[in-house]
Amino acid sequence: LSDKLDKALHVLKGHGSITEVNVAETLKEVRRALLDADVNFKIAKEFTNKVKEKALGQNVLTTLQPGQLMVKIVKDELTELMGGDAEGINLSGNPSVILMSGLQGSGKTTFSGKLANYLKNKKTKKPLLVACDVYRPAAIDQLHVVGEQIGVEVFSDRGNNDPVAISKAGIAHAKANGHNVVIIDTAGRLAVDEAMMTEISNIHKAIEPQETLFVVDSMTGQDAVNTAKAFNDILNFDGVILTKLDGDTRGGAAISIKSVVNKPIKFIGTGEKMEAIDVFYPSRMADRILGMGDVVSLVERAQEQYDEEEARKLQKKIAKNQFGFDDFLKQIQQIKKMGNMKDLIGMIPGAGKMMKDVDIDDDAFKGIEAIIHSMTPTERSNPGLMNASRKKRIAKGSGTSVQEVNQLLKQFTQMSKMMKMMQGGGGKRMMQMMKN
């Protein structure tokens, strides 16, 4: 979708003048792009009609920068179509009960963990995860692994195969142990079937959750709409979770689901890691679909993960020429904490396409980390000490070559220099540029 819309808007972007033919062409392309992304025909048509009306109303053809105005109109309409302002989840209950629903493999268990982690980081929330997928023992194990990873308690009852009873017992356990949020992970099937619908509906009726969420894999296209409709008919859910937005398909499902069930999309999943969760912002999603990148959330995520105290210390060290390999290691860990490298790069406008075929993952840091770990503490804080015999020892210890050690040393020197240069306010300016 992104590529097609890009192409469509390319006609307009950057062109000083625009003809009526251009507008019509562009709208046709936009509509085709929406249809290709499995957006319902009627919705796509309504959408382009609305854009056309607005474009004519605002006299696009006579403005100085018709291309930009047109892009703005398309973006605004797309944003509205996906739901206007971001909506949070209802946490007013004590405990607040959140029920997950959706097909098998849509990402319920993963998202349950992500949401628990997200709420736990808000400090005022003490979540409990409840394992109600009773059909596969592995499903219960999976939730326990997730819980351990994020330090959140998991309630399960392996002897029990009644999800209604388990969910009730889980809520009672939460009340008795001071948990103020209960997240209920449930079983899904590969396709909508009656047994699954009856089961989720029974749980729903029995526990009356504050929030029922429908989890859907964003790559499932037109099917996503049918599934969403089937679940909504039975549960009248409160919100949609769009997972796997780190894949190639982006946006089509968001547009269709929102228009068909008219429920807000609340969060998105952008990777397998527990940190790969973002609040859904329709305007950012529109940017993303339009290929403008998602700079705002990139900057936000970076800021969230970045400890300001740490940054201040680091700046002092750089100023005093004391930046060492331990600090370098910390920087790498910081980058890794921010999520999958590919996700992050994908959010930079233009870079997503460029890097599409390049395989980047966290392993890229493994060699570097091994080399630094093989240095003595003295060497780490005094990179100037490095000589041939030390390099040999480090290469041996880290299973790398002297050449690789040399390369890292060179990179490190360059980076130190650059950081020093940026300190004169350049760094701040760069952040400012990214925000604008």
243 binds ligand GDP (CB under 6 A): yes
For Mg ion, the closer CB: 68 or 104? 104
- Mark the segment that binds ligand GDP (CB under 6 A) among 192-200, 239-247, 341-349, 391-399: 239-247
Which of 126, 113, 236 has the alpha carbon at shortest distance from 185?
113
Does 106 help bind ligand GDP (rule: CB under 6 A)? Answer: yes
246 labelled binding-site residue: yes
- Residues 207 and 130: their CA atoms lie apart, in Å, by 13
Q: Which residues contact 41 (CB under 8 A, 6 or more apart)?
A: 35
- The answer to whether 185 is a known ligand-binding residue is yes
Is 88 labeled as ligand-binding? Answer: no
- Tell me: does residue 220 bind ligand GDP (CB under 6 A): no
- φ, ψ for residue 52 (rounded to 5)? -60, -45
Query: Binder to ligand GDP among 167, 256, 270, 400 (CB under 6 A)?
Result: 270
Q: Is 104 a residue that touches ligand GDP (CB under 6 A)?
A: yes
| Residue 339 binding ligand GDP, by CB under 6 A | no
CB–CB of 30/51 below 8 Å? yes
Of 108 and 263, the one with the shorter C-beta distance to Mg ion is 108
User: Is 170 flagged in the annotation as binding?
Assistant: no
Q: CA-to-CA distance for 195 and 236, rounded, in angstroms?
A: 18
Q: Which residues bind Mg ion (CB under 5 A)?
A: 108-109, 139
The CA distance from 11 to 25, in Å, is: 9
Nearer to Mg ion, 27 or 103 (CB): 103
Annotated binding-site residue? 106: yes
Among 238, 246, 275, 294, binds ligand GDP (CB under 6 A): 246
CB 431 within 8 A of CB 299: yes
- Residue 188 as a binder of ligand GDP (CB under 6 A): the answer is yes
Which residue from 175, 136, 135 is spatially nearest to 155, judged by alpha carbons?
A: 175
- For ligand GDP, give the closer residue by CB, 263 or 342: 342
Q: What element of type H or E holds 78?
A: helix 66-81
Residue 346 binds which entry of Mg ion, ligand GDP, none, CB below 5-8 Å type-dependent: none
Q: What is the distance between the alpha carbons of residues 13 and 410, in angstroms, rounded to a whole number?
A: 41
Pick from Mg ion, ligand GDP, none: which does 66 bind, CB < 5 to 8 A by kind?
none
Quote the strand ranges of 89-152, DSSP E.
96-101, 127-132
- Contacts of 221 by beta carbon, 8 Å cutoff, 6+ apart: 37, 38, 249, 252, 253
Residues binding ligand GDP (CB under 6 A): 102, 104-110, 188, 243-244, 246, 269-272, 276
Enumerate the known binding-site residues. 102-109, 185-189, 243-246
Enumerate the known binding-site residues for GTP. 102-109, 185-189, 243-246
